[in-house]
Structure 1
Amino acid sequence: MFFLQCRKTVFFLGVFFIGLSLIVFAATTVSADQLDPSTIPKYVTPLVIPPAMPFESKDSASTRYQIAAKQFQPQILPPGYPTTQVFGYGDATGPAPGLPGTRYHYPAYTVEVRSEEKVQVKWINGLADDAGNFISHFLPIDPTLHWANPPGPRDHRPEFVDVPGAYKGPVPIITHLHGAHVPPISDGNPEAWYLPAAKNIPADYFTRGTFYDSVLPAESGTAWFEYPNTQRATTLWYHDHTLGMTRLNVYAGLAGFWLIRDSYEDSLNLPGPAPRAGDPAGTKYYEIPIVVQDRSFNTDGSLFYPDSRDFFGDYEGPFIPGTNLSPIWNPEFFGNAVVVNGNTWPFLQVEPRKYRFRFLNGCNSRFLIMKVVSDPLAARPVSTALTFSQIGNDGGLIPNGPVTVEQLLVAPAERADVIIDFSAFAPGTELYLINEGPDEPFGGFPVEVPASSATTGQVMKFSVGGFTGIDSSRLPAPGSLNPALPVLGPVAKTRDLTLNEIAYVPQDAPVEAHLGTAENGPMGWEAHMTETPMLGDTEVWRLINLTADAHPIHLHLVQFEVVGRFPFDVTAYAAAQHAYIDGGKMGTLPDPLSFATGDTSPPNSWEAGRKDTVISNPGEVTMVKAKFDLPGLFVWHCHILEHEDNEMMRPYMVMEGQCASFDPATNNLHVPCLEMGDQYSLDLSLANNNPLQFSLADITAISGGSQCASYNPLTGILHLPCAEYFGLRYSADLSVTGTAPYTFELFGYSQLP
């Protein structure tokens, strides 16, 4: 849960050259038990094309799926190597993993839907063995983070008297459909997790997160979510989103594609088909989703992920509780092998014709810069053998596209929908998809040290074969794409939000990254809520990057417009911001435009239209515009998963009108906006005028104590300490925005001890 008080004492770094990129886990680092990636044969395994996820039932009202997370051991490395234990999603109505006909896979099968098609999914936490006992995570869970923490306190950063080892209890999950326009109850809030329905879970463990909810009655270990798919044709993906351990559950394999189609896309006659449920064996596909991930392996075939700080810089402690530093969590992770659709360095036999590829960067921390070349070992940068015709991005087809690009810059969680035309190449030609992104945090162009050409600088191979038929598909003419875009409307508010680096004592310790506001500086997940757009409003968020590295920033709920970017003097701006905060926030909050060192540049051609994830470059202010058209609680965060898991994530709430109003005729205070999945409200009765005090009159869906609110006229804050949700007490603080009849806006929302 998010709090008004943060346990850590921190200061933020305004000098942008002190940063995370100075202390990276190198992809070339190999311990004695790790598999040397240079010894893994390349291009011996055919690319797996994820089949379509079968639905359980369908009628005029909705389409229903049952999708479970299970543990199994696929062949990720080439034949002859050991199998690899993973978590993966699959069709819960079909055979279990390992049985003939199973529909469990890493990555998961693709869910394909139509725009406006209502879909209900029963998400099942199946991380239990055949005897019904829970299975522990095979990757190291750091219990010192602010995480789900089933042993309690739930969704809380626990306290320790000694340095703890990794958590070995039952594994929580919660699935987020990334890029979906969906109400909060089905958004996959990080605190809406749940444990498997295992028989040996300790009696004192929490089995559900603070904000667990379900659109339909659900038994233990499950949740029903509903997706209206009220958006245009696009490439989404679903993945785990559990508080403080997303990096581990996604690295373990919990991810898959979710494709939305519409009539406009149908009319374009793009390359296809894509996999459909019930396709006969041997069906040829010319539309292929491709997820690129980096992984490291141990010699026994298991996934390697750091279980200590030994693999990141040279910091050796002390750790919690002696300092504020977590003993297991690492600020970033860069694997030393490339996995594409679940296999290391696969190949795809292609015909000399057009193909549509939907690329997803599924890496934890790595930015990809992909090219198609004829020599994968050539000195970087390599001249391209052909270009990409990019027709879409996160939010769907690009207006006035396609755009022709020689390389694809794709940050973690971003998607690129492209057409590649192999028709100019003779059978027998071999082409290679390579990566020229760095084996360390991305700081913008030029890339000083590209990925190793022998390992992480290669992705997959295209082998051109013979032509088996007629290619009747079309590559849209340049500038011809004209998808209908939602109207964002006039801007009601501009927010200045910051990306910050946090340093702790001792001074040689690794830093962390936090989001924050220009007014308050860095703020963790637990700090009071600051982003509260009004329902139906359009806002511009200016992302002020004070760090050394680029960060992919993702907003739940919305598909936004990238407005542009401008460079600024980080040192001067940070000094002015510090002075404002240290001076008690007196005077004028510094405007980043006053520190601009160049003109505002428009978005890159491939960023046109709508997106849900944007690259915020160091030393730049990145501006996005979004309309907030569904009420309730959502989150925004960095999609470098190691950052997201350790405080670089913030809640935001879309407000329905004023959060509280006082009616002097009835002496009642009405508070309608304490919303967590459902709408909750409370009413309080005026008990004393100086200062205003209220006693509880009525609560809808929640309950509380007798002295439920007090107003401090010196601070203008109304304090409500007695709202209760799922047995835990919460406190809401509201700031006065007018005189009698008093009205209030949400100022903070926190969990009480």
Structure 2
Amino acid sequence: MTQSSGPVVGRRSFLVLTASGVLTLYAGAPGARATAVASTRPATLPLGEVPKFVAPLVEPPAMPRSGRTRHDGRLVDVYRIAMRQFDQQVLPPDRPATTVWGYGPEDVGRGQVLFFAPSMTIEAEHGTPVRVTWVNGLTDSEGRYLPHLLPVDPTLHWANPEQRANADGRERTDQTPSFDGLTYVPPEEFTDPATQYTAYSGPVPIITHVHGAMGVGEESDGYTEAWYLPDASDIPGGYAHHGRWFEYFRSVADSKFGVAWSAGEATFQYPNDNPASTLWYHDHALGLTRTNVYAGPAGFYIVRGGPYGDDAVIDSATGRRAVLPGPAPGTPNQGQPRHHEVLLAIQDRSFTDDGQLFYPDSRAFFDGYEGPYIGEPDSPIPPIWNPEFFGNAIIVNGRTWPYLEVEQRRYRLRLLNGCGSRFLILDFAAIPGVRVWQIGGDGGFLDAPLDLATAYDNRVLLGPAERADLIVDFTSVPLGAHVLTNLGPDEPFGGGEPILDFDPADPATTGQVMQFRVARRRGADRTTPPERLVLPAPPPVPEPDHVRRLALIEHLHEPDENTEAPIAALLGVVMDHGDGMLHAEERMWSAEVSETVEPGATETWEIYNLTADAHPIHLHEVSFDVIDRQGIVIPEDGHGFMLGDAPPVPPMPWESGRKDTVIAYPEQVTRIRATFSTPGRYVWHCHILEHEDNEMMRPMQVGEVGGGAPTD
């Protein structure tokens, strides 16, 4: 079961049950009677009409290296990887191709098939550093910048490359611009910059983060204010070419590795100190991560080997090394044998009727609110940003509802929830005869193999950015086609059980994920039965030096007596004022750093969720242990909160290994414990990308701030 001691029906104020029991969103314009709006509106393309399971699953191969070098006596794998725009057959072959972004080797020509979304997998060895030059290749064939594929809201605290002034008149990047006295209009209606503003349409900032990477220096983590524009020929005058932390990190990288960052690129080095684990890489630019990632740029980053790798897994029956299903796909020039290790990036998207990506261009899509917006008197509501977004199609490895041909044998499936807002509950129970064991999570192997049939009814719960390493046994599955389904909701997730506590995803669309076509086994299956595996899980995090209390908060605005509209999700600190209650104090992204940690210190973080949604909380640079969860009590008057009387409950069985992302359930405190070993500036945030982009992210400083770093 999923954990939730708080309410399991939607948001506290603006999601309510109708008399018929249907979950409906109520919204209204100022002065108008509230009207019911569907909680997820269909995009232009009705996905119920799109055929499913007609295209095979794409298995992205390994990213080819550019070469190798040496640094400090160690061999370093070197890559040059560009982000580019291209067309891809995401929908079935009889539908139009979709324009997307993705990563690929920088030294291949435009339009080559080596660019794909999700992109090729970076294969890394534990202890062997990887050096990547990440190139912003979002230019056309003439070297001119390409505008964003999707609507960009300029009213958030965001990269702001045009350096529009803030409310204090300061012109710079990485701040919340002021639009006082201006009225938002859609781009097609924008005619007068003296009285109007519209969506941003300039060159696109990017910065790449390897999610889950440990021991990475601050210069290589993909800090959200170290973004950079493409080296285009037509960057408008007055635009900043990079964020305010870029120059500092460039000097750090030059000092540490002797690498020079050129225009439109940055070079990062990853030590691969992680235990063997399933990581992934994606864009992390300030205030537009949701739209950048939705456009496509993401890929797996697999760390193999080391003391906690596959070679250290033991067969309890023989005492010898166990055999896990494999191999995984190799590089494109290595030939592709049958793969028994398969990587699955599961995402949701919507499409226009001509096959292009659909993402909301108005706040009205979310709740029917049509203004006034930021710029007009007394309105803090962004005109484009949506608090959450749920696409009406499931794509796996860049294709809608693909199929995978498998044999009656064991496979290793590494799963990633790559959705922006959607929680997945993958239901293998719909496949007759299948056995599913989870052997790993975000940060490597679990303490022991987990039989999901007994632990969670053959289901896998994944919040956005979480991963699961599974062994799926098709030996007893009948020959033929079988569908993997999704029971997670088409709306914000608050915990609880499908059907009992929330409506599962639409069974005709988002309730289906992919199809397995089961054939007879060819050859013997010599892999070790999962129940015999002795896993080399990393040791637990040591006892803490300090306990830190933090809060998850939501801001609502009441434009009229009938409407409560969410305007931001925030992080904060928890204070004890001696009145018998705990109190949350919000912290905006721009506030002074409050999470300052001594290098080498171990801390327990108590994350108090005061909202009505579950949030996947991600800490950069570290992995952590989930310690427990405990209910909290929030009085009706909203004056503070307190721990409930019930004792803490242990983590879920699939959380026994190291994690880098944890689900914080509503009206609970979630406790995690981490050791902060690497000095530098990092971040922690909610991985619902719409939340992360609008204040639900905070800087984190380990040790002293480096000389030459930005100070304000």
Normalising by structure 2, report the TM-score.
Answer: 0.84
Runs of 4+ in 1 over 3 A off after TM superposition: 19-28, 278-282
2: CA distance between counterparts of 1:478 and 1:419? 12
- 1:477 match: secondary structure: helix
Q: Does residue 437 of structure 1 match 2:488?
A: yes
- Which of 562, 565, 586 is matched with 1:510 structurally? 565
- Structure 2 equivalent of residue 351 of structure 1: 407
Question: Does the CA contact (< 8 Å) of 2:471 and 2:530 recur in 1?
Answer: no
How much has 1:95 moved relative to structure 2?
2.9
Cα distance between partner residues in 1 of 2:223 and 2:380: 26
**2:331 aligned with 1:298:** no
Which amino acid in 2 is paired with 1:522? E
Q: Does residue 494 of structure 1 match 2:513?
A: no
**Structure 2: any 5+ residue segments left out of the alignment?**
1-8, 17-24, 27-36, 164-171, 185-196, 254-258, 312-320, 576-583
1:399 corresponds in structure 2 to: 447
Contact 2:439/2:448 (8 A) holds in 1: no
Which one of the candidate residues 267, 274, 294 is aligned to 2:328?
Answer: 274
Q: For 1:510, what is the secondary structure of its paired residue?
A: strand
Match for residue 414 of structure 1? 466
Task: Tell me the CA shift for residue 374 of structure 1.
Answer: 4.5
Identify the residue that residue 666 of structure 1 maps to in structure 2. none
Aligned equivalent of 1:538: 602
Q: 1 CA distance for matches of 2:80 and 2:396?
A: 26
Relative distance call for 1:281 and 1:118 in structure 2 (3 A) is closer
Mapping for residues 280-359 of structure 1, pairs under 5 Å: 280-322=334-376, 323-359=379-415
The structure number with the bigger radius of gyration is 1
1:114 aligns with 2:122: no
- Of 200, 203, 213, which aligns to 1:180? 213
Pairwise mapping of residues 654-673 of structure 1 onto structure 2 (< 5 A)? 654-655=702-703, 673=704
Query: Aligned AA for 2:134?
Result: W
Matched, 1:36 2:46: yes
Contact in 2 for aligned 1:390/1:401 (Cα 8 Å): yes
**Structure 1 contact 134–199 (Cα < 8 Å) conserved:** yes
User: Which residue of the partner structure matches residue 200 of structure 1?
Assistant: 234
Please state how far the C-alpha of 1:400 moved relative to its aligned partner: 2.2
2 CA distance for matches of 1:631 and 1:326? 36
How far apart are 1:207 and its partner, in Å? 0.4
SS at match of 1:111: strand
Alignment-derived partner of residue 505 in structure 2: 451
The correspondence for 1:167, drawn from 200, 208, 218, is: 200
Query: For residues 526 and 20 of structure 1, what CA distance do their matches in structure 2 show?
Result: 28
Q: 1:179 and 1:339 mapped to 2: Cα distance?
A: 23
State the alpha-carbon separation in 1 of the partners of residues 241 and 677 from structure 2. 32
CA deviation vs aligned residue, 1:549-601 (integer Å, no higher than 9, x gap): 10000000110000010112122795235xxxxxxxxxxxxxx4xx3131211
Whole-Å separation in 2 of the counterparts to 1:16 and 1:52: 41
**Greater CA drift, 57-66 or 44-53:** 57-66
Q: Deviations over 1:69-106 (max 9, x none)?
A: 00001000001100101011111122322x4xx31111
CA contact (8 A) 1:20 1:549 kept: no
Distance in 2 of aligned mates of 1:292 and 1:27: 22
AA in 1 matched with 2:608: I
Q: Is the 8 A contact 2:79 2:133 kept in 1?
A: yes
Of 396, 419, 427, the residue aligned with 1:371 is: 427
**CA displacement, residues 370-393 of structure 1 (integer Å, 9 cap, x when unaligned):** 012447xxxxxxxx6534200000
Return the letter of the residue paired with 1:296.
S
Change in Cα spacing, 1:237 to 1:17, as seen in structure 2 (3 Å) is closer
Change (3 A) 1:623 1:369: same
Of 77, 81, 101, the match for 2:95: 81
Contact 2:329 2:336 in 1 (8 A): no
CA apart distance, 1:58: 2.0
Give the letter for the 1:286 counterpart: H
1: distance between equivalents of 2:660 and 2:240? 32
**1:297 touches 1:304 (CA, 8 Å); kept in 2?**
yes
For residue 75 of structure 2, the aligned residue among 61, 79, 82 is 61
Answer yes or no: is 1:265 the counterpart of 2:310: yes
Corresponding residue for residue 657 of structure 2? 609
Deviation at 1:480, TM superposition (A): 2.3
Q: Secondary structure at the match of 1:496?
A: strand
Residue 742 (structure 1) aligns with: none
Distance 1:282 1:541, change over 3 A: closer
Distance in 2 (CA, whole Å) between partners of 1:27 and 1:87 is 28
Instruction: With a CA cutoff of 8 Å and minimum separation of 6, indicate the structure with the bigger relative contact order.
Output: 2
Cα deviations by residue, 1:460-507 (Å, 9 ceiling, x for unpaired)? 00010132222212233367223333x532311111111111123525
2:278 equivalent to 1:235: yes
> Do the aligned partners of 1:403 and 1:605 also contact (CA within 8 Å) in 2?
no
CA contact (8 A) 2:348 2:395 kept: yes
Task: Report the Cα offset of residue 524 of structure 1.
Answer: 1.5
The SS at the match of 2:635 is: helix
What is the rounded CA distance, in whole Å, between the counterparts of 1:633 and 1:572 in structure 2? 38
The number of residue pairs the alignment matches comes to 619
**Aligned residue type for 1:189:** Y
Look up the equivalent residue of 1:42 and give its one-letter code. K
Query: 1:677-716 alignment to 2 at 5 Å?
Result: 679-680=706-707, 701=708
TM-score for the superposition, normalised by structure 1: 0.80
Could you say what secondary structure the match of 1:484 adopts? coil
1:425/1:30 CA distance change after superposition, 3 Å: closer
1:483 and 2:537 are equivalent in the alignment: yes
**Partner of residue 191, structure 2:** none
Q: After TM superposition, give the deviation of residue 30 of structure 1 in Å.
A: 2.3
Identity in percent? 46
- Which deviations, in whole Å up to 9, do the C-alpha atoms of 1:381-426 show, x marking residues without a partner? xxx6534200000000001224434100000000000010001124
Tell me the equivalent position of 2:262.
219
Please state how far the C-alpha of 1:282 moved relative to its aligned partner: 4.6
Answer whether contact 2:88 2:99 (CA < 8 A) is retained: yes
* In 1: Cα distance, 2:38 partner to 2:273 partner: 42
CA distance in 2, matches of 1:414, 1:127: 28
1:150-204 CA distances to partner (integer Å, 9 max, x unpaired)?
0002001101131221100000000000001111110001101000000100121
CA change 1:503–1:308 in 2 (3 A) is: same
Shift of 1:280: 4.5
Give the Cα separation in 2 of the matches to 1:329 and 1:471.
Answer: 50
**1:54-77, CA deviations, whole angstroms, 9 ceiling, x for partnerless residues?**
000024520000100000010000
Match of 1:136 among 127, 147, 167: 147
Distance of 2:322 and 2:124 partners within structure 1: 18
| Structure 1 residue 218, shift from structure 2 partner | 1.5
Contact 1:155 1:243 in 2 (8 A): yes
Q: Deviations over 1:522-556 (max 9, x none)?
A: 22111221111111110001110111110000000
CA spacing shift, 1:144–1:278, aligned 2, 3 Å = closer
Q: Determine the C-alpha separation between the residues in 1 that align with 2:123 and 2:423.
A: 27
Number of the residue aligned with 1:155: 174
**Secondary structure class of the residue paired with 2:447:** coil
Aligned partners of 2:671 and 2:383: how far apart in 1? 36
The equivalent of 1:425 in structure 2 is 477
Query: Does structure 2 retain, via aligned residues, the 8 Å contact 1:19–1:501?
Result: no
Quick one: which of 18, 37, 42 aligns to 2:12? 18
Query: 1-side partners of 2:401 and 2:590: how far apart?
Result: 41
